[in-house]
Amino acid sequence: MSAPYLLYYWPTIQGRGEFVRLALEAAGADYQDVARLPERKGRQQGMPAMLACLDGNVTRQPAYAPPVLGHGELLIGQTPNILFYLGKQLGLAPRAEAGRLWLNQLQLTMADWLTEVHDTHHPLAMGQYYEDQAAAAALRAQDFRTTRLPKFLDYFTQVLANNGSRGNFLVGGKLTYGDLSLFQMIAGLRHAFPQAMERLAPRCPALSDLHDSVAARPHIARYLNSRRRLPFSEEGIFRHYPELDG
Amino acid sequence: MSAPYLLYYWPTIQGRGEFVRLALEAAGADYQDVARLPERKGRQQGMPAMLACLDGNVTRQPAYAPPVLGHGELLIGQTPNILFYLGKQLGLAPRAEAGRLWLNQLQLTMADWLTEVHDTHHPLAMGQYYEDQAAAAALRAQDFRTTRLPKFLDYFTQVLANNGSRGNFLVGGKLTYGDLSLFQMIAGLRHAFPQAMERLAPRCPALSDLHDSVAARPHIARYLNSRRRLPFSEEGIFRHYPELDG
């Protein structure tokens, strides 16, 4: 299909939408970040267009939450599902079924990891302020830093080591959306937990290498230096609260 | 492929493995629940076989966590990924790509929902006892019952209403693995939060109907009455702690 891709996501944060943005950017795809466009009467853009994707009275197959990707007649929700589709469309996934399933498995594991990152600052109620659950967050973050984070880092380090292909890729011998997502995980974790990540860096040098090689790819380097790349912030998933690091 | 399916999952709980069991049972598939078979020297069964799937020194593409499905040369992790594969294999998914993506989107939304259920009793540290985080669990469970649970129930009620096909199915006009998973969500939530589910039942009658129609399917009814169906318990994801209900 030659229709442009339409990304519907919160306009002011990286969040889960960033995993989709990175895939679109890496492939040089023609896309619009719809909710970041100004609202205009009669035009399907701005926040109202994003909210319509979630409204089952307007959209027959509504998403539970953003991001949502529109492409031609398709409207696709859930980040790993969007990437599964885009991987095939944009040449960012293996062609064989076994490789696509393995990549999807790794992406779903990153999705679980990301949810655990989110829950370090919102362990009790995602709709309430961090400040109102800071004591519980300190406990959850401690468990994350000492138990969960090393386990995830070790896992992906082993996956990289076990990939027999040349180059530092998660799956096979060329870039997939999984590498882009792993770059984002490492970048985000370094923002949120700089001390913990520095402490753990010696056990996962291959993850640092992957981060750097993805960041240096021309399309990605140009994107990261553009205004299209939103900054990390304490509104997103990767938040730097010094009291949660250590 | 005519090879039997091999499910690797904890042998004493329903957990995430149950979503896979239900798909295999509904299709009358030839499968083994490997970790529930007795350990025997030189045989790949029992708990050691399951743990080998997670060990990157033994398995080239290890899973981060069970369940894992073996089928011929394939070894597939992550529940929604396993179901995506089985859906095609067992005729429990639409054939067209758009339908398969929509079903996968719904399955991923149920996976998110399930993680939120888990976190009601383990909001601070999944590796520690419930009793050591019971106070935080009470707060998380309250938010779940009053905010998140109604939102998920409303969402899936709307999805059912918006499906224009005959019959009470999530996607199209015949049974998919999504219906089996939604049955399991409702059954589990009724076990864990009987009061809350009774209170919320009037707003989601279509979910009760779906639960009942899935439970009445011959293959499923036979399974639910067999010893293969493990009971709900306070070791699994859906746990009944009266103090978390209300």
Same domain, B64 and B118: no
pLDDT at res. B166: 87
Same domain, B191 and B146: yes
User: Which among B56, B84, B111 has the least Cβ separation from residue A158?
Assistant: B56
Whole-angstrom distance, CA of residue B196 vs CA of residue B190: 8
Helix (H, G, I), strand (E, B), or coil: what is residue B7? Answer: strand
Q: Is residue A48 part of a domain?
A: yes
Tokens 């019959």, located at residue: B167
pLDDT at res. A142: 98
Q: Which of A81, A145, A162 to mutate to test the interface with B (most CBs of B within 10 A)?
A: A81
Tally of CB atoms within 10 A around A226: 9
Q: Is residue A245 part of a domain?
A: no
Look at residue A141 and tell me whether its pLDDT is greater than 70: yes
Same domain, B28 and B148: no
| Tokens found for residue B86 | 């089985």
CA distance B59 to chain A (A): 9
- Give percent of chain A with pLDDT exceeding 70: 99
Q: Is residue A109 part of a domain?
A: yes
Same domain, A18 and A70: yes
Helix (H, G, I), strand (E, B), or coil: what is residue A225? Answer: coil
Chain A residues near residue B136 by CB distance under 8 angstroms:
123-124, 136, 139
Tally of CB atoms within 10 A around A246: 13
Same domain, B10 and B114: no
**Domain-terminating residue out of B90, B105, B122:** B90
- Give percent of chain B with pLDDT exceeding 90: 94
Across the interface, do A123 and B143 touch by the CB < 8 Å criterion?
A: no
Q: Is residue A122 part of a domain?
A: yes
- What is the per-residue pLDDT across A186-210, written as a single tens digit (0 to 9) for each? 999 999 999 999 999 999 999 999 9
User: Which among B61, B143, B162 has the least Cβ separation from residue A61?
Assistant: B162
Look at residue B1 and tell me whether its pLDDT is greater than 60: no
- Asked whether the beta carbons of B74 and B85 are under 8 A apart, the reply is yes
- Residue A30: what are its φ and ψ, rounded to 5°? -85, 110
List the CATH number of the domain containing B201: 1.20.1050.10
pLDDT tier at B39, thresholds 50, 70, 90: confident
| Tokens found for residue B179 | 């219906």
**Domain-terminating residue out of B90, B124, B147:** B90
**Domain-terminating residue out of A28, A60, A90:** A90
pLDDT at res. B41: 72
Same domain, B123 and B48: no
pLDDT at res. A39: 85
- What is the per-residue pLDDT across B161-219, written as a single tens digit (0 to 9) for each? 999 888 899 999 999 999 999 999 999 999 999 999 999 999 999 999 999 999 999 99
Q: Which residue of B has its CA nearest to A84?
A: B101
Whole-angstrom distance, CA of residue B152 vs CA of residue A149: 29
Helix (H, G, I), strand (E, B), or coil: what is residue A242? Answer: helix
Q: Is residue A203 part of a domain?
A: yes
- Asked whether the beta carbons of B88 and B1 are under 8 A apart, the reply is no
Distances (CA, A) of A121 to A116, A127, A238, B136: 9, 12, 9, 14
Q: Dihedral of the CA atoms A35, A41, A42, A44 (nearest 10)?
A: 0
Angle ∠(B110,B112,B116) on CA atoms, nearest 5: 110
Across the interface, do A104 and B81 touch by the CB < 8 Å criterion?
A: yes
Distances (CA, A) of B228 to B12, B18, B223, B231: 10, 10, 7, 9
Same domain, A119 and A134: yes
Residue B58 class from Cβ within 10 Å (0-12 exposed, 13-18 middle, 19+ buried)? exposed
Look at residue A1 and tell me whether its pLDDT is greater than 70: no
pLDDT at res. B170: 98
- Asked whether the beta carbons of A17 and A67 are under 8 A apart, the reply is yes
Residue B66: cis peptide before it, omega within 30 degrees of 0: no
List the CATH number of the domain containing B15: 3.40.30.10
Calculate the average pLDDT of chain B.
96
pLDDT at res. B235: 95
Same domain, A131 and A159: yes
Across the interface, do A102 and B56 touch by the CB < 8 Å criterion?
A: no
Calculate the average pLDDT of chain A.
96
Average of pLDDT values for A50-78? Answer: 97
Q: Which of B20, B69, B101 to mutate to test the interface with A (most CBs of A within 10 A)?
A: B101
pLDDT tier at A44, thresholds 50, 70, 90: confident
Tally of CB atoms within 10 A around A180: 26
pLDDT at res. A186: 98
Same domain, A120 and A144: yes
Tell me which residue range forms the domain holding A102: 97-229
Better-predicted residue by pLDDT, A180 or B1: A180
Angle ∠(B224,B229,B234) on CA atoms, nearest 5: 120
- What is the per-residue pLDDT across A114-132, written as a single tens digit (0 to 9) for each? 999 999 999 999 999 999 9
- Asked whether the beta carbons of B66 and B17 are under 8 A apart, the reply is yes
- Asked whether the beta carbons of B162 and B156 are under 8 A apart, the reply is no
Same domain, B78 and B105: no
Whole-angstrom distance, CA of residue A105 vs CA of residue B32: 22
Q: Is residue A44 part of a domain?
A: yes
- What is the per-residue pLDDT across B63-114, written as a single tens digit (0 to 9) for each? 999 999 999 999 999 999 999 999 999 999 999 999 999 999 999 999 999 9
Across the interface, do A56 and B158 touch by the CB < 8 Å criterion?
A: yes
pLDDT at res. B21: 98
pLDDT at res. B99: 98
Q: Is residue A236 part of a domain?
A: no
Tokens 């009620």, located at residue: B157
Q: How many domains does chain B have?
A: 2
User: Which among A102, A124, A125 has the least Cβ separation from residue B61?
Assistant: A102
Q: Is residue A151 part of a domain?
A: yes
Sequence-ordered list of residues with C-beta below 8 angstroms from that of A17, at least 6 positions apart, any chain: A7, A9, A10, A33, A66, A67
- What is the per-residue pLDDT across B141-168, written as a single tens digit (0 to 9) for each? 999 999 999 999 999 999 999 998 888 9
Q: Which of A1, A55, A59, A61 to mutate to test the interface with B (most CBs of B within 10 A)?
A: A61
The runs of H, that is alpha helices, within chain B are 17-26, 47-53, 79-90, 97-121, 134-143, 149-162, 177-192, 194-200, 205-215, 218-224
pLDDT tier at B246, thresholds 50, 70, 90: very high
Same domain, A144 and A214: yes
- Asked whether the beta carbons of B235 and B12 are under 8 A apart, the reply is yes
CA distance A22 to chain B (A): 20
User: Which among B105, B125, B147 has the least Cβ separation from residue A78?
Assistant: B105
Which is nearest to A116 in space by CA: B75, B155, B65? B65
- What is the per-residue pLDDT across A210-236, written as a single tens digit (0 to 9) for each? 999 999 999 999 999 999 999 999 999
Q: Which residue of B has its CA nearest to A60?
A: B162
Average of pLDDT values for A93-102? Answer: 98
Whole-angstrom distance, CA of residue B130 vs CA of residue B135: 9
pLDDT at res. A41: 72
| Tokens found for residue B245 | 């209900």
Same domain, B194 and B215: yes
